[in-house]
A = this chain, B = another copy of it.
């Protein structure tokens, strides 16, 4: 009971296709949809599931589209009674929930979610069933969610290998601004300085620079959408980082020693990050 036996994944990008592959590996019947026929074909070729048969309601629909489209897709699916329960996987939660409310979506059958997993490569070809293994998967249920919807979505998370975390949507958005969204912009700002560098200069780059800028390789359009959906929390952290860098630059020019205290705060902050329980490969 309340175990998802049939799931529709709508949006067969990296995350959607990985969800589909993980569920298929656990024997769940998966149907797939994407507005891009090529992405849909690639996901089917990967064995992620069959093409969506709209007349046939599923237990659970997983909405794996960019943040700004979540509410609209939810409204459309609910209007056609595509599923008994619904979740999404967008990296921001406050705005999609507000938009769902504004569009008159049914919040009883909807449990917003966000698996904390990703890669700098995107699309169905980068997907794999182990992407969520041991990684936090945040659910942000509104007060309206039914026990059935909650149970169904929790079961889905567990079948994907995710580690369940339940948070208030605003708390989630502030947290991911700090640990994911702002770091993405900071990495991009550093990587942007390299754009017009001489080959000799870039030839000196070591593993440190590669690791530090890796996330900046992500899709700019998808990330602009994510950041827009979490604008004020991200902007706050960016301003704090910019302030520290400006002070550091002034301190270096004045041969002051405030740079050491920033480096010490940095080493301390770095040491606060807990070890990964299991590494997504």
Query: Which A residues lie at the B interface, using CB under 8 A?
Result: 116-118, 120, 135-136, 138, 165, 167, 171, 174-176, 178-180, 182-195, 197-221, 223-224, 227-228, 231-232, 234-246, 248-250, 252-253, 255, 257, 259-260, 262-274, 276, 279-280
When the two chains form their complex, are residues B210 and A259 in contact, meaning their CB atoms are under 8 A apart?
Answer: no
- CB-based contact B269/A191 at 8 Å: yes
* B235 and A273 form a contact (CB under 8 A): no
Q: Which of B191, B219, B255, B266 contacts A188 (CB under 8 A)?
A: B266
| B227 near A252: Cβ-Cβ < 8 Å | yes
A275 to B9, CA, bound (A): 36
Task: Decide if B216 touches A165 in the complex (CB within 8 Å).
Answer: no
A selection of 24 A-B contacts at a CB cut-off of 8 Å is: A136-B203, A136-B204, A171-B200, A180-B204, A180-B209, A182-B190, A186-B190, A187-B266, A188-B265, A191-B269, A191-B270, A192-B266, A192-B268, A193-B241, A194-B269, A194-B273, A195-B268, A207-B276, A213-B269, A214-B270, A220-B267, A227-B259, A231-B255, A232-B252
- B138/A204 in contact, CB under 8 A: yes
Question: Judging by beta carbons under 8 Å apart, are B239 and A249 in contact?
Answer: yes
A228 x B204 contact (CB < 8 A): no
Q: Which residues of B contact A216 (CB under 8 A)?
A: 263, 266-267, 269-270
Given A189-B262, A253-B235, do A179 and B207 touch, yes or no (CB 8 Å)? no
- A180 contact set on B, CB distance < 8 A: 204-206, 208-209
Known pairs A180-B206, A193-B269, A238-B252. 20 more at Cβ < 8 A?
A116-B204, A138-B204, A165-B204, A178-B201, A185-B262, A186-B186, A189-B266, A190-B266, A191-B270, A195-B265, A195-B269, A205-B274, A206-B280, A210-B273, A210-B276, A220-B260, A223-B263, A228-B252, A236-B249, A238-B245
Across the interface, A202 reaches (CB within 8 A) one of B236, B246, B273, namely B273
Given known pairs A197-B272, A266-B189, the reply for A212 and B210 (CB within 8 Å) is: no
How far, in Å, is A138 (CB) from chain B's closest CB? 7
A212 contact from B211, B248, B260, Cβ within 8 A = B211
Q: Assuming the A-B contacts A118-B206, A180-B208, A189-B244, are A267 and B201 also in contact, with contact meaning beta carbons closer than 8 angstroms in the complex?
A: no
> Within the assembled complex, what's the spacing in Å between the Cα atoms of A268 and B189?
11
Set of chain B residues within 8 Å of A279, measured between Cβ atoms = 207
Q: In the bound complex, how far is the Cα of B224 from the Cα of A252, in angstroms?
A: 9
Closest to A192 in B: B265
Query: Shortest distance in angstroms between A198's beta carbon and chain B's nearest beta carbon?
Result: 8
- Smallest CB-CB A-B distances: 5 pairs: A188-B266, A220-B263, A192-B265, A194-B269, A191-B269
The distance in angstroms between the C-alpha atoms of A176 and B260, with both chains bound, is 19
